[in-house]
Amino acid sequence: MRHKWLIISLLAVVILGFAFIAGVASYFLSGDAEFTPSVFSGKMVGVISVDGFISSSDDKVKEIEDARKDDDIVSVILRIESPGGSIGASQEILEAVKNLANKKPVVVSMGSVAASGGYYIACGGTKILADPGTVTGSIGVRMDHVTVGELLKWAKIGHETLAVGKFKDTGSFDRPLNPEERELLEGVLNDLYEQFKETVAESRNLPIDEVGRLADGRVYTGRQALDLGLVDQLGGFTEAIKVAAELGGIKGEPKLTYSKKKGEIFLRLIDGAKSVLSMATDLSPSQVDYWQPVMSLPANAVVR
């Protein structure tokens, strides 16, 4: 009888353990976002982070929208630590930031890198702060095309693409671009580039010609960006808190509420794996998922 109860107890522990693990996994992988701590009431400064390569926008847009709807949040710090990413995702986050800034102040706080798509998003803020050594700018668009046709021939691997439409297989990895395809893609890149420049010119109140001179893909330090009018002020996260509190009408030390995405640690591990793969293959992280134009520093670019 004792052995019977021991076995039942062990089974119960195992079942409860699996239930606990499943519950925790479900919670962390649910993808919902929330602002914490919720026990605070009254005026607060919300903090939203944009980290790493920008490959999607849905979750970040939801966080921004939650901050916009939260009446206790009177101003927001958008902390950017990103080399850029996909154009569509960057534009969607930019629009969400602009929508938020129409209701309450948004102070952009740049970390060590806020370049290309990261800078694109920053343009939606009310005020942009950067550290003197922040790497920013990189206003431009790039598209990678890797061909492995000769390698496939060497390995005696056959590959065929069936496509309907003259340009449907443009960018196929087993052959170089032909002149018409190159012209087509360059036209797409030029239009995306013009969109980027127009956003910078409008948000920074700069003549489009002047932006054109700055937007040749080069990066700038935070101090250089200040001189060029690309940012408003030098300062780190602590200074951003002071500015956000002032713009939000908060006197004294402000209460901060952070948007934390459930499952963030798992998603960071996935992003980390993608970054390692991109470094190893010299592909941009976007190419780990699919081939697309991106606004980002090259995967093998390291600022020292």
127 catalytic per annotation: no
CA distances from 181 to 152, 185, 190, 301 (A): 22, 6, 14, 27
Indicate yes or no: pTM above 0.85: no
Residue 14's pLDDT is 52
Q: Which of 116, 259, 284, 286 is catalytic?
A: 116
Residue with tokens 């990066």: 219
- Beta-strand (E) ranges in the chain? 33-36, 44-51, 73-82, 84-86, 106-115, 127-130, 135-137, 219-221, 233-234, 255-261, 294-296
Q: How far apart are CA 119 and CA 111, in angstroms?
A: 11
Tell me how far the alpha carbon of residue 44 is from its chain's centroid.
24
Residue 6's pLDDT is 52
Residue 9's pLDDT is 56
Tell me how far the alpha carbon of residue 210 is from its chain's centroid.
26
69 catalytic per annotation: no
| Per-residue tens of pLDDT for the chain, all 304 residues | 555 455 555 555 555 555 455 444 544 444 444 555 444 456 899 999 999 999 889 999 999 999 999 999 999 999 999 999 999 999 999 999 999 999 999 999 999 999 999 999 999 999 999 999 999 999 999 888 888 888 878 888 888 888 888 888 887 888 888 888 888 888 989 999 999 999 999 999 999 999 999 999 999 999 999 999 999 999 999 999 999 999 999 998 899 999 765 444 444 455 555 444 444 444 444 443 334 555 565 443 333 2
Q: Quote the Cα angle for 162-165-168, to 5°.
A: 70
Residue 285's pLDDT is 43
Please provide residue 80's backbone torsions phi and psi, each rounded to the nearest 5 degrees: -110, 125
Tell me how far the alpha carbon of residue 103 is from its chain's centroid.
22
State yes or no: cis peptide before 37, omega within 30 of 0: yes
Residue with tokens 């998922």: 289
Structural domains of the chain, with CATH: 32-138+209-296 (3.90.226.10)
Residue 235's pLDDT is 96
Residue 7's pLDDT is 52
Residue 145's pLDDT is 80
Could you tell me if 122 and 147 are in contact, meaning their C-beta atoms sit under 8 angstroms apart? Answer: no
